[in-house]
Amino acid sequence: MIDKKLVTLLHEFKQIGLTSMGGVTRCVYDDNWILAQKKYVKIANDYGLYCFCDKMGTIYAATSDHISHKSVILTGSHMDTVINGGWLDGIYGVLSSVLAVGQLLQKFGAPKIPLCAVSFSEEEGSRFDTTFTGSRYLTHQLSRGVFDLKDSIGIIFDEERQKRVTELSQVTPIRTPDFKIRSYIELHIEQGNLLEQSHTNIAVVTDIVGQKRLLITTNGISNHAGTTQMFGRADAMQRAVDLMTQIYSSLGMMKGVRFTIGKIIAFPNVANVIPEKVDITLDIRHIDQHVLDDAFEKVIKITDAVGATYRLTTNVEATPMDNQLQQQVINSIKQEKLVGERLFSGAGHDAQVIANSKIPSVMIFVPSKNGMSHVPQEDTAESDLLAGQHVLQRLLYDLAY
């Protein structure tokens, strides 16, 4: 039913942001991101899809030019990556969906219910301290504060956004998305190792974990490392280490809680100066919202006790996927003569943000080799990549035609 065009395109997009370490860095609004979104428009137009771009830089590719106020089936994923990330995260769903929608249009003509592929501008939060800005904008969940955020070298989110959307307007019209979303379907790599362990090639996602991400700051007083006596020092690094030790100990005892301190920035970050400020990020996830809330409370108590401050930069509730769509995915898997699983997702996804705005949503997962993701080693067997696209395309056909 589908040729290997998907695999060819995935390899081409891997080159757009390929790093010397073999990973891909394509952060929102960077030079590679703009190249990739433009290439996406080209692919969609070649299938006769109607493209437009919203004010965040998200690209839509629909089977009809007249979807204003219509109810459409939306399918896609995000174009951005983490820093030195893998070659499949996000882009696999982006390309699979535009190919599926385009090929259905070519083969069967206009569907009864319009189909719309989407390439969200940003999901990972790897450049600015915010996540899911593409899908949050679409579903009216974006707070104004996002536009003032700065990246690590001081560039302001909103200035970059305007500049890049203007560039995209050279290849596609800018429009406010005013269609209704009947359902949202996202194909993605698992990023964990459960499918590999169970020797299964595909899964439907039942739930997505809740996630809280905090930026925690300890403060101190900078001074010379050699001349300042130990007694009376106010060392932001020592305070951060104390804080982190307590977090590892406290959350480490909570069953099923996954937590990560992935980022740390010290100021001024010089070997012979006592740090005056240390910022750390803490990412906490759990499938049960109550347990996640408990974990968060524990962290706040520790933060208060050591005199640190925090800001909640991501806060997504544990989210069940739509039951009826889950059943339809299972049907499509069966029709493709594959054996499927039911899994929860430990990663956050645009599908979660969209489901949280009461839109029926579902995800399809394919295996990740060795469960590796967000790293250059991220990979999936070619047959699994294609099987995922087969299932997506069949599902879209069953829902729309």
Interaction site with its own copies (CB under 8 A): 82-85, 124-126, 129, 190-192, 209, 211, 213, 222-230, 235, 237-238, 241-242, 244-245, 248, 252, 257-266, 268-276, 278, 281, 283, 285, 313, 345-348, 368, 371-375
- Closer residue to its own copies in complex, CB, 37/345: 345
Q: How far apart are the first and last CA of the chain?
A: 17
Complex with its own copies: residue 84 or 332, whichever CB lies closer = 84
Return the bridge partners of 210, or none. 286
Quote the least distance from Cβ 18 to its own copies, whole Å: 15
Instruction: State the minimum distance, in angstroms, from the CB of residue 259 to its own copies.
Output: 8
Hey, how many other C-beta atoms are within 10 angstroms of the C-beta on 182? Answer: 16
Distance CA 29, CA 56 (A): 10
**DSSP SS3 for 204:** strand
Q: Which is nearer to its own copies, 48 or 262 (CB)?
A: 262
Q: How far is the CB of 132 from its own copies (least distance, A)?
A: 12
Judged by beta carbon, residue 264 or residue 305, the one nearer its own copies is 264
**What is the closest distance, in whole angstroms, from the C-beta atom of residue 304 to its own copies in the complex?**
20
Shortest distance, CB of residue 80 to its own copies, whole angstroms? 12
Q: Toward its own copies, which CB reaches closer, 245 or 289?
A: 245
- Residue 216 C-alpha from the chain's centroid: 22
Would you say 41 and 51 are in contact if contact means Cβ atoms under 8 Å apart?
yes
Paired tokens of 242: 């104390």
**Cβ proximity to its own copies, 114 vs 220, nearer residue:** 220
Q: Are 184 and 75 in contact (CB under 8 A)?
A: yes
- Smallest gap from Cβ 87 to its own copies, in A, equals 14
**Residues 74 and 54: beta-carbon distance below 8 Å:** no
Residue 135 C-alpha from the chain's centroid: 10
In the complex with its own copies, the residue whose CB is nearer, 82 or 98, is: 82
- Three-state SS string over 297-345 comes to HHHHHHHHHCCCEEEEEEEECCEECCHHHHHHHHHHHHHCCCCEEEEEE
- Assign 4 to helix, strand or coil: coil
Nearest residue (CB) to its own copies, 174 versus 264: 264
Read off the tokens for 41: 């428009």
CB of 149 to its own copies, least distance (A): 14
Read off the DSSP letter of residue 147. G
Nearer to its own copies (CB atom), residue 33 or residue 259: 259
Measure the CA–CA gap between 21 and 375, rounded to whole angstroms: 10
37 close to 95: Cβ distance less than 8 angstroms: no
- Cα 73-77-83 angle, rounded to 5 deg: 170
**Any idea of the CA torsion for 378, 98, 178, 27, to the nearest 10 degrees?**
30
**Minimum CB separation from its own copies for residue 341, in Å?**
15
In whole angstroms, the minimum distance from the beta carbon of 156 to its own copies comes to 16
